Amino acid sequence: MELRNEHQWPVEKFEAIELQKEFAQHVQILPNFDDVTLIAAVDTAYGRNADIIYASAVIYTFPEIDEVEKRFHYAEVKFPYTPGLLYFREGPAILAALEKLETTPDLIIVNGHGIADYNRCGLASMVGIAFDIPTIGCARKLIAGNHREITPQKGSSQPLFLKDREVGLAYRTKDNVKPLFISPGHRCDIKFAKEMVVQNLRGYRMPEPLRFAHQAANKYKRHIEKKYQNKTIYIKE
């Protein structure tokens, strides 16, 4: 895949916020009627000291969810974990893994929030803008917004509001299991995001592509750590 919006990686928080607000201007929330055949999912894993980040980018067919292509990338972590600025910590590795994909998916599911973010531009939105491709944010915890209580039954959901705006939803993917927070990232809307996530559930809390991408990132991490045990990992630019 090819980046559509290149930029420097900020070192200071205020610079990151400036870039995030600029990207937020480009976020498109609109109905998506495209036929979805290929779905990509990205996720990351960290080394023990949280100094190295490992990212996976995997493409699956939909609705079969058969693996089509799988790429990875690891890098030194250079930005501190800061709620609201996750993109600046994980973005370098995630974008690099996605750039290695030879196939272009119809949409990308990201482990993190889309517009359910204080600046309406979470990790999923930032990734979507970077490649100008439809993205969906899927998070296990809420960072911004509120919603009414949802029942314990699978399928129960409530809209997620942030400053009077509906930005996504809380969705129960399994009975008696904590809900998932879904929000559009870029070039799609809440309805599309919800439908896609629901149609990709296969009995677990997380949609299958993301669940697999998560496992893939961890396997990749173990592989690299084993390969370089006792040695100093050399990371090229």
Partner DNA sequence: GCGACAG
Partner DNA sequence: ATCTTGTCGC
* E strand map for the chain: 38-46, 52-61, 67-76, 107-111, 135-139, 157-162, 165-171, 180-186
- Which has the closest alpha carbon to 95: 115, 124, 116, 121? 124
Window 87 to 116, contacts with DNA (CB under 7 A): 87, 111-113
State which residue, 59 or 124, has the beta carbon closest to DNA. Answer: 124
Per CB under 7 A, does 43 bind DNA?
yes
Which of 17, 68, 96, 143 lies at the binding interface for DNA (CB under 7 A)? 143
Residue of 19, 84, 171, 196 that binds DNA (CB under 7 A): 84
Q: Does residue 27 bind DNA (CB under 7 A)?
A: no
Rounded to whole angstroms, the Cα distance separating 55 from 48 reads 15
Give the whole-angstrom CA distance, residue 201 versus residue 208: 6
If one asks whether residue 21 binds DNA (CB under 7 A), the answer comes out as no
Residue 44 lies near DNA (rule: CB under 7 A) = yes
Answer for the pair 105, 94: CB distance below 8 angstroms, yes or no: no
Among 9, 24, 46, 199, binds DNA (CB under 7 A): 46
CB atoms within 10 A of CB 31: 10
Q: Which residues bind DNA (CB under 7 A)?
A: 43-46, 48, 50, 81, 83-87, 111-113, 117, 122-124, 137, 139-143, 175-176, 218, 221
